[in-house]
Amino acid sequence: MRLVLRYIRPQWKLATLIVVLTAVNAVASLLIPTYAADLIDEAAAGGGFSAMATSCLLMAVASLVASGTAIWSGYAVAKLSARVARDMRDDLYAKSLELSAYDFAQFGLASMTTRTMSDINVIQVALSDFNFMMLPVPFMVGTSLVLSFRISARIGWLLTAAMAVVIVLGVVILTAASPLYRRLQKLLDRIGAVLLENLTGVRVVRAFGREADEEARMDRTFADYATTSIRANRMFANLDGLSYLAINLFIALMLFVSGHYIALGEFQIGGLVALSEYAVMCLFFLMMAQMMIAMLPRALECARRVDEVLACTPSIADPDDPVDMAGAAPLADGEVLRFDNVGFRFPDASEDALSAVSFSCSVGKTTAVIGGTGSGKSTVAMLALRFHDATTGHVLLDGVDVKAMRQADLHRHVAYIQQRAWLFSGTVGENLRHRSDAAGLTELRRALDVSQSAPFVGDIASDPSVLARPVALGGSNFSGGQRQRLSIARALVGPSQLVVFDDSFSALDFATDAALRRALKEEMGDKAVLIVAQRVNTIRHADHIVVLSDGRVAGQGTHDELMDHCDVYREIVASQTRE
């Protein structure tokens, strides 16, 4: 609730307008039966034309005001709820960019998608329904009670009692339904996760003939959701039925009692018409509020889930007093990146992924990290970009601890090509300019040439329109190798001091791999290069090679030096030569 209020606050003018319009609408709607009652009583008493005409005119004005305010508040409510949802989505997305890889994994991709899309949608619909179904209630109830008591205090008390019954019923059912709705949202996450997993791995499912098993798993997930929904809806069906019963009992009682008072001359027949209208309108809005209450537990749960992400303090944050990296440059000896006795353990792991790792990368030099599967190579790349924080030791860029600078500054100085190439939907040009919007054709062309992408993208110097070539989500309209080459080109555009390749050559054939490394050597004269790789051929000619084994440095040096003195390296070379 507090979350929604926080997002309504910037829209306070719109929110105030909605409250005023709703109040005016309620009063105007209830004045219609009031003037109708006057008209009936005047007619029954054989009143003059002018008094009856005045009542008719007042009824017409009240009708116009009621319909005008209803239309106006409809527009205002739509605007308010859409703006609140927009701002929440913006903040949720911004937060997901702030979160570290570990923080993000705590929520999971499926849940983050559900929270950003479906949960905020539920909040938007609930906010809009709240304004239509709940907000008028206090104005309707207050005005109709005042008007009822004006006609007959006894009927006024009867109406108050009927409303109290309907409200108590609503509160009881709301309390009982809340846990069910919490469970429903969790099940929705589960459906999202299972669907995402199955749709992403649909070919694996087919190739392994697991269609029936996966269908059964999906069925179970959908069935769980359906059963819980039915239980929740059953509760609200009971609420509806009981409320109708209370309302109809009240109207029957009111007619019975009113007949008696009319006979006693306490009020006229017009008063009875007005009282019935107040009761019907008022209880109708209470019923609407109950329908809204049916949605409330779910909306509150969605708001809680959105707030949970927004309130999450990123485990990796910028320092309060960051070092200004605007004029930062490599150290006098050319050093750009240094791992100083770095150790790292994943928060939920029982062993260190890296222990006492020390090495450096310098301008004009290629440093490589090699090791078997799970030896900690990608973790080195992650720490260089501060996607994780070293548990012990220091990672330094230009002699400054990466924890002491803004992450944006770090990422401006370091270009990164991840293991699994990912392109954004759009065009080739938009993808290439991801790090630098202002990059010119010459720079793009150089990046395409170095990354060996020109042969399949085309020559942008003679035909710049190839930059408009569409890229599908994730780059799925390119082959794995082409995607890797384009993501390398993207990282080469724009200024950087260090380029980190995290096993980024694995999908390339040997000839392309070799051509790319040759081109890189020529182009990277003013930059430091860190290559994380499994293939010896990719790093054989590196200026410095760090060999990792179970997260520890098993040896460092050039290829020849390591062949002389590092058993682990010799073993890696031998295993790949045998292949």
Ligand X SMILES: Nc1ncnc2c1ncn2[C@@H]1O[C@H](COP(=O)(O)OP(=O)(O)OP(=O)(O)O)[C@@H](O)[C@H]1O
Residue number, 100 or 116, with CB nearest to ligand X: 100
Q: How many CB atoms are closer than 10 A to CB 108?
A: 14
Contact residue for ligand X among 379, 487, 496, 497 (CB under 6 A):
379
The CA distance from 549 to 562, in Å, is 14
Q: Give the shortest CB-193-to-ligand X separation in angstroms.
A: 17
- The residue ranges of DSSP E strands in 225-280, in sequence order, are none
The least distance separating ligand X from the CB of residue 287, rounded to whole angstroms, comes to: 51
Candidate residues 270, 376, 481, 494; the one interacting with ligand X per rule CB under 6 A: 376
Pair 136, 285: CB distance under 8 Å: yes
CA 455 to chain centre: 38
Over the window 340 to 359, marking each residue x when it contacts ligand X by CB under 6 A and - when it does not, the resulting string is ------x-xx---x------
Q: Provide the minimum distance between the beta carbon of 530 and ligand X in the complex, in angstroms, as a whole number.
A: 13
- Which positions from 296 to 335 touch ligand X by CB under 6 A, shown as an x/- string? ----------------------------------------
Residue with smaller CB distance to ligand X, 106 or 118: 106
The minimum distance between CB 285 and ligand X, in angstroms, equals 52
Q: How many CA atoms lie within 13 A of 249 on its CB side?
A: 12
Nearest approach in angstroms of CB 498 to ligand X is 18
Among 366, 375, 484, 538, the residue binding ligand X under the rule CB under 6 A is 375
**Taking a C-beta distance cutoff of 8 angstroms, is the pair 96, 309 a contact?**
yes
Token pair of 272, please?
Answer: 């009875």
Q: Residue 293's closest CA among 188, 158, 168?
A: 168
- Side-chain-side CA neighbours of 528 within 13 Å: the count stands at 24
Q: How far is the CB of 550 from ligand X (least distance, A)?
A: 8
Shortest CA distance to 551 belongs to which of 376, 302, 318? 376
511 binds ligand X (CB under 6 A): no
Residue number with CB closer to ligand X (523 or 550): 550
Instruction: Give every CB contact of residue 285 below 8 A, 6+ residues apart in sequence.
Output: 133, 136, 137, 140, 141
Contact present, 185 and 244 (Cβ < 8 Å): no
Residue whose CB is less far from ligand X, 427 or 534: 534
Interacting residues with ligand X between 148 and 177 (CB under 6 A): none
Residue type, 319: P
Applying CB under 6 A, which part among 55-63, 189-197, 211-219, 368-376 lies near ligand X? Answer: 368-376
CB of 319 to ligand X, least distance (A): 24
**Least distance from C-beta 346 to ligand X, angstroms?**
3
Q: Which of 371, 393, 494, 555 binds ligand X (CB under 6 A)?
A: 371
CB of 405 to ligand X, least distance (A): 23
Q: Please name the amino acid found at residue 408.
A: A
Stretch that binds ligand X, among 55-63, 235-243, 376-384, 559-567 (CB under 6 A): 376-384
DSSP per residue, 141-188: HHHHHHHHHHH-HHHHHHHHHHHHHHHHHHHHHHHHHHHHHHHHHHHH
Contact criterion met (CB below 8 Å) for 418 and 502? yes
CB nearer ligand X, residue 315 or residue 534: 534
Query: Which letter, b or e, does each residue of 416-449 get, where b requires 16 or more Cβ atoms within 10 Å of its Cβ?
Result: bbbbebebeeeebbbbbbbbbeebeeebbbbbbb
Binding of residue 436 to ligand X (CB under 6 A): no
Region 185-204 residues binding ligand X, contact defined as CB under 6 A? none
Looking at beta carbons only, is 330 or 551 nearer to ligand X?
Answer: 551
| Residue located via tokens 């004005």 | 61
Q: Which of 244, 266, 60 is nearest to 275 (CA)?
A: 266
Report yes or no: 490 and 524 within 8 Å, Cβ to Cβ: no
Q: Which is nearer to ligand X, 50 or 373 (CB)?
A: 373
Could you tell me the smallest distance in angstroms from the CB atom of residue 162 to ligand X? 59
534 contributes a contact to ligand X by CB under 6 A: yes
**3-state SS class at 509:** coil
Q: What angle do CA 108, 111, 114 make, to 5 degrees?
A: 150
For 302, 430, 474, 477, the CA distances from 480, given in Å and listed in that order, are 38, 19, 11, 10
- Distance between CA atoms of residues 572 and 565, nearest Å: 13
Residue 149 or residue 346: which is nearer to ligand X going by CB?
346
Six-digit token string for 533: 């790789």
For ligand X, the closer of residues 85 and 354 by Cβ is: 354
Q: Does position 374 bind ligand X by CB under 6 A? A: yes
CB of 344 to ligand X, least distance (A): 9
User: Shortest Cβ distance from residue 108 to ligand X (Å)?
Assistant: 12
Confirm if 387 and 403 have CB atoms less than 8 A apart: no
Total chain residues near ligand X (CB under 6 A): 13
In the complex, least distance from residue 375 CB atom to ligand X, rounded to whole angstroms: 4
378 interacts with ligand X by CB under 6 A: yes
The helix, strand and coil proportions of the chain, stated in percent and rounded to the nearest 5, come to: 65, 10, 20
Window contacting ligand X (CB under 6 A); options: 83-91, 313-321, 375-383, 444-452: 375-383
Identify which of residues 148 and 549 has a Cβ nearer to ligand X in the complex: 549
Identified binder of ligand X from the candidate list 377, 386, 490, 544, rule CB under 6 A: 377
* Residue 244 vs 422, nearer CB to ligand X: 422
**Minimum distance of ligand X from residue 338's CB (angstroms):** 19
Q: Site residues (CB under 6 A) for ligand X?
A: 346, 348-349, 353, 371, 373-379, 534
